[in-house]
Amino acid sequence: MAKHYAMAVVVAKCIGCQACTVACKFQNNVPEGQYRTKTPVVGPKGTFPNVSMYFLKEACQMCQDAPCVKVCPTKASHYNEAGVVLVDVDKCVGCKYCLTACPYDARFINKDTGAADKCTFCWEARVSQGQAPACVSTCVGGALVFGDEKDPNSEIAKLLSKNKGEVRKEEFGTRPSIYYIFQGVK
């Protein structure tokens, strides 16, 4: 069976330290002032005493039905052999169609390369070499779990079998591969 790499974010464990943000920039040489991932605060929401506030890691949602891939006129945006959405820098003409099409505001034009950029699941440097993504390895709170969700023995499959993973903007039909577990925060 083909693998399907996915990430689970256990929101209650995220302390908003931004270690993932920094690790990502370092690992992927992301230019100053640009980010593949950020973890902003959400809230406070509700009325006292029923108030909630948490940090939410944002990045490309690795859609399985990705609008960015559909609109790309040069096929620079594509799925690789493992179904990970990537950008071929040499094919990208910087038209920004994909930036507009992405419902998650996950893309930007890299100031150094002039090409569309976003989270790659650290494919080239880490995951294809058997390592976890930089943000996952660095997460202080242990809030990020990564792996093949089709492997029933993987940590992520076990986690998602016991906890409901929610996807962002489900109504867009993009079928994200990032699951948010909100147990204990809302």
Q: How far is the CB of 182 from ligand SF4 (least distance, A)?
A: 19
Nearest-angstrom CA–CA distance, 133 and 38:
15
Q: What torsion do the CA atoms of 30, 32, 33, 36 make, to the nearest 10 degrees? A: 10
User: How many residues sit close enough to ligand SF4 to count as binding (CB under 6 A)?
Assistant: 42
Near ligand SF4 by CB under 6 A: residue from 5, 6, 14, 27: 27
The binding track of 150-169 with respect to ligand SF4, each residue x by CB under 6 A or -, is --------------------
Which residue from 125, 101, 120, 124 is spatially nearest to 110, judged by alpha carbons?
Answer: 120
> How distant, in Å, are the alpha carbons of 11, 32, 34, 85, 173 from that of 76?
33, 24, 20, 10, 22
CB of 131 to ligand SF4, least distance (A): 11
Which 132-151 positions form the footprint of ligand SF4 (CB under 6 A)? 133-135
Question: Which amino acid appears at position 82 of this protein?
Answer: A
Q: With CB under 6 A as the contact rule, which of the stretches 8-16, 47-55, 98-106, 155-163 interacts with ligand SF4?
A: 98-106
| Of 5, 54, 55, 97, the one binding ligand SF4 by CB under 6 A | 97
The reply to whether 37 sits near ligand SF4 by the rule CB under 6 A is: yes
Q: Are 164 and 186 in contact (CB under 8 A)?
A: no
Residues in the chain: 186
* Binding test (CB under 6 A) with ligand SF4, winner from 6, 14, 98, 157: 98
**Cβ distance to ligand SF4 smaller for residue 49 or 130:** 130
CA 36, CA 120: separation in Å to the nearest integer? Answer: 9
- The conformation of residue 45, written as its DSSP 8-state character, comes to E
Q: How far is the CB of 78 from ligand SF4 (least distance, A)?
A: 9
Q: Kindly tell me which residue out of 68, 156, 181, 185 binds ligand SF4, with binding defined by CB under 6 A.
A: 68
